[in-house]
């Protein structure tokens, strides 16, 4: 036995009168009893060895414990409590062994039955009289079944790995978008290809890649990347602005001839009176 129940209450009640040496001798003799699963030897010297008693006081403690807690029989010193614990342990051990043998025996029988069934099936001639094989009708041309091109196109596809900008796509950009050159188109085509090859997921699947190219070129991103400013509508000239422009052309023809982007409006502090036909009219002096 490697384990036995040690009831602390019972032990302390029955051994409260023992000295330290006597208590140690009793515990060692009990351990030897359970480990050997048999009574202690009749010879006291053997009991001394089991308890590791060497001095006279230790041997005297062993003799006292044998007299107090054990009974001498023909096969040795016995204790009823230890015998009942050993018997209970052996009973549980035997039940566990029978249960394990039954479980393994059942598994072995199941394995033999499975092996016999497999061998019988391996030697059996298959009966195909009642087997019905449903084969799909062959295609009319004898080749693989046709794929509906409309259905395939509606699902879309990724940009081809060997994609090159078609000539008609480039011509559309040059004829539709002002300010584009062939080098701009080629550079944008490389960006277009790298972007869609690197993109993952369903958003990288398109049903019409030519339309995707057109939208790409129309986008503000492409316009700004190539340095092309979008056209902005110019507000209509008012009557006051027209009169001021005509007067400026009369006063300073050289300044009025410059483009609007080269002119700079002065702050109010630099507004002066121009001495001409109308000296009282204030005119903003524009520096070139």
C-alpha span between 175 and 180 (Å, rounded): 9
User: Over the stretch 217-251, which tens digit does the pLDDT of each residue have?
Assistant: 988 555 555 555 444 444 667 888 888 888 888 88
> What pLDDT, on a 0 to 100 scale, did the predictor assign at position 257?
60
- 5 vs 31, residue with greater confidence: 31
Q: Are 185 and 165 in contact (CB under 8 A)?
A: yes
3-class DSSP state of 206:
strand
Question: Minimal CA–CA distance to 158: which of 107, 115, 112, 197?
Answer: 197
User: Over the stretch 139-192, which tens digit does the pLDDT of each residue have?
Assistant: 555 555 555 655 555 678 999 999 999 999 999 999 989 888 999 999 999 999
> How far does CA 280 lie from the centroid of its chain?
82
What whole-number percentage of the chain has pLDDT above 90?
39
What whole-number percentage of the chain has pLDDT above 70?
68
Q: Strands of the chain (E only): list them.
A: 71-73, 76-78, 271-273, 282-284
Q: How confident is the model at residue 271 (pLDDT cuts 50, 70, 90)?
A: very low
The 8-class DSSP code of residue 144 comes to S
Rg (CA), the chain: 55
> What pLDDT, on a 0 to 100 scale, did the predictor assign at position 238?
84
Burial bucket for residue 41 (CB in 10 Å: 0-12, 13-18, 19+): middle
User: Over the stretch 98-121, which tens digit does the pLDDT of each residue have?
Assistant: 888 888 877 777 777 777 666 666
> What pLDDT, on a 0 to 100 scale, did the predictor assign at position 246?
83
């Amino acid at each position: 036995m490697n384990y036995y129940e040690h009831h602390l209450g019972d032990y302390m009640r029955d051994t409260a009168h023992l000295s330290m040496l006597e208590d140690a001798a009793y515990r060692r003799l009990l351990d030897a009893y359970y480990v050997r699963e048999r009574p202690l030897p009749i010879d006291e010297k053997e009991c001394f060895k089991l308890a590791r008693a060497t001095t006279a006081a230790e041997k005297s403690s062993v003799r006292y414990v044998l007299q107090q807690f054990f009974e001498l029989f023909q096969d040795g010193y016995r204790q009823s409590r230890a015998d009942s614990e050993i018997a209970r342990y052996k009973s549980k051990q035997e039940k566990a062994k029978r249960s394990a043998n039954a479980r393994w025996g059942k598994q072995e029988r199941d394995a033999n039955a499975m092996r016999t069934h497999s061998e019988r099936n391996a030697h059996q001639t298959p009966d195909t009289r009642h087997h019905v094989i449903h084969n799909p009708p062959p295609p009319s041309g004898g080749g693989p079944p046709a794929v509906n091109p409309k259905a395939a196109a509606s699902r879309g596809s990724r940009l081809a790995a060997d994609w090159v900008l078609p000539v008609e796509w480039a011509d559309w950009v040059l004829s539709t978008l002002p300010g584009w050159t062939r080098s701009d188109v080629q550079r944008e085509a490389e960006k277009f290809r790298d972007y869609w090859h690197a993109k993952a997921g369903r958003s990288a699947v398109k049903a019409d890649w030519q339309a995707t190219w057109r939208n790409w070129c129309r986008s503000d991103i492409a316009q700004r990347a190539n340095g092309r400013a979008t056209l902005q509508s110019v507000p209509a000239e008012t009557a006051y602005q027209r009169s001021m422009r005509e007067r400026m052309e009369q006063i300073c023809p050289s300044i009025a001839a410059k483009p609007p982007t080269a002119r700079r409006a002065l702050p109010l502090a630099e507004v002066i009176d121009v001495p001409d036909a109308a000296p009282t009219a204030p005119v903003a002096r524009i520096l070139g």
